[in-house]
Amino acid sequence: MNTLVDGAIVIDARGSIQLINPAGESIFGYAAKEVIGRNITCLMPEPYHSEHDGYLDRYLKTGEAKIIGIGREVEGQRSNGEIFPMSLAVGEMGHQDSTLFVGIIRDLTEERRRETEFDELQARHFHLSRVAAMNEMGTAIAHEINQPLAAAANYIETGKILCTRLDEGGEKLGSVLERALEQNNRAAEIIARMRKFIERGDVSSETVDLDEIIEASVMLSLSRFRDTQIDIIRDINPNASQVFGDGVQIQQVLVNLIRNGCEAMTDSAHKQLHISVDSDAEHPNLACVSLSDTGTGLSQDIIPDLFTAFTSTKTGGLGVGLSISQSIVRAHGGRIWATSNPSGGSTFSFTLPLADDA
Ligand SMILES: Nc1ncnc2c1ncn2[C@@H]1O[C@H](COP(=O)(O)OP(=O)(O)OP(=O)(O)O)[C@@H](O)[C@H]1O
Ligand SMILES: [Mg+2]
């Protein structure tokens, strides 16, 4: 006991301390003579403190063990009042006619501190990588786009006033302008959220209906392909359609992927986009959204950098769609990946936490 690295304490069946080794003395900050004869609860914070006597009694009567023979992570209290995490393994031993318990204690303070440090480092790294992907764009976009959006809002407002002076059709035009204004404000809201996303790295959390969001995203994306006949097939498992996250951001991801799919099918004879939602095969607490197109398929040389910002094979492409989508999906705790379809075209899939597990 004297040479053990871990703390060791022996108590009797009433919880009275019989023995504490030097490592135990230094962990708890007591000299042996200060604690020998006292109840073991003097080394425990609440609620262990109050529960412990009952616990020993119950164990001796019923044999029902919570720590004895099992080992657990609990909290201890040092002489200066400091509460600290420790691992505790307790063994039972017979001694003459009575029962004694020996507890082996390892102070986990240092280990926990390192873990917290590591977590913080990881969070910071994650944040930085997200910022790296978006920083180049974020500020510029927010600034450059907010101004024309504000100007457009002004023009639309003015148009609405002018409508009231029209003799004919003013009401109808007014309601059209109202809708234009709504869309305009929506764009401004998206920008504001994107900025918040870069700055704070968090996402607003609400239960989001994928069915609804997919519908809205399809409408938003297809307006650009109005003259093209594209078959959209939806295959949504209602048990996997409620996810937890930021609706506007999830919509951003879907719009990016739907647009990419449609753009890839420009020259395809048969244009079909299959959007499916199901629970993830490997992780039942995640929903998996897949978009499968009949387009050109992924070109070999772009695959390694597919999700890297500013990677594009399109003449007018910025190459940020997939990198932004990846940042958003990851911030939601999901992942995004692409595969080539055996029959041509490609499939982009991403996962999101199901609302039930939120
Ligand atoms: N469905 C798809 N089929 C084939 N290739 C695709 C598909 N989706 C993406 N790609 C490839 O990945 C590249 C990157 O896509 P990403 O959305 O990031 O940028 P982009 O579409 O080129 O430009 P933008 O920033 O305007 O969206 C595309 O240029 C294209 O080569
Ligand atoms: Mg794109």
**From the CA of 330, how far away is ligand 1's center (Å)?**
19
- 337 and 217 part of one domain: yes
Identify whether residues 354 and 211 lie together within a single domain: yes
Does residue 16 sit within a domain?
A: yes
Q: How far apart are CA 254 and CA 138, in angstroms?
A: 19
pLDDT of residue 137: 64
Substitution candidate for ligand 1 out of 322, 323, 328, 337 with most atoms within 8 A of CB? 322
pLDDT digits (tens, 9 = 90+) for 191-237: 877 666 555 555 678 899 999 999 888 887 887 777 788 999 999 99
Is residue 205 helix, strand or coil? Answer: coil
Tell me: do 38 and 143 sit in the same domain.
no
Q: Do residue 96 and residue 171 come from a single domain? A: no
Domain range spanning residue 95? 7-107
Whether 274 shows a pLDDT value over 90: the answer reads yes
Strand 231-236 versus strand 336-340 pairing type: unpaired
- From residue 352, how far is each of 218, 320, 336 by CA, in Å? 19, 21, 10
Structural domain contains residue 343: yes
Q: What CATH code is carried by the domain that includes residue 144? A: 1.10.287.130
Residues enclosing ligand 1, CB less than 6 A? 256, 260-261, 264, 293, 295-299, 302, 306, 311-314, 317-323, 346
Q: What is the 286 CA–ligand 2 centroid distance (Å)?
A: 25
Grade residue 273 by pLDDT with cuts at 50, 70 and 90. Answer: very high
Can you tell me the distance from the alpha carbon of 306 to that of 206, in angstroms, rounded to the nearest whole number? 29
Residue 275 inside a domain? The answer is yes
Task: Please indicate, yes or no, whether residues 96 and 164 belong to a single structural domain of this protein.
Answer: no
Mean pLDDT, rounded, for 96-125: 83
Q: What is the mean pLDDT of residues 84-106?
A: 88
Give me the pLDDT at residue 358, please: 45
**pLDDT for residue 93:** 85
Nearest CA to ligand 1 atom 7: 260
Same domain, 41 and 153: no
CA 192 to ligand 2 center in whole angstroms: 21
Residue where one domain finishes, among candidates 158, 179, 201 = 201
| Domain-ending residue, one of 107, 128, 144 | 107
The pLDDT of residue 319 is 80
Last-in-domain residue among 89, 107, 125 = 107
Q: How many residues does the chain have?
A: 358
Is pLDDT at 270 greater than 80 in this prediction? yes
CA nearest 273: which of 212, 193, 218?
218
Q: What is the pTM of this model?
A: 0.53
Note the pLDDT of residue 30: 96
* Closest atom, ligand 1, to C-alpha of 302: 31
How many angstroms is it from 192 CA to the middle of ligand 1?
24
| Amino acid at site 241 | S
CATH number at residue 342: 3.30.565.10
The ligand 1 atom at the shortest distance from the C-alpha of residue 261 is 1
> How many structural domains are present in the chain?
3
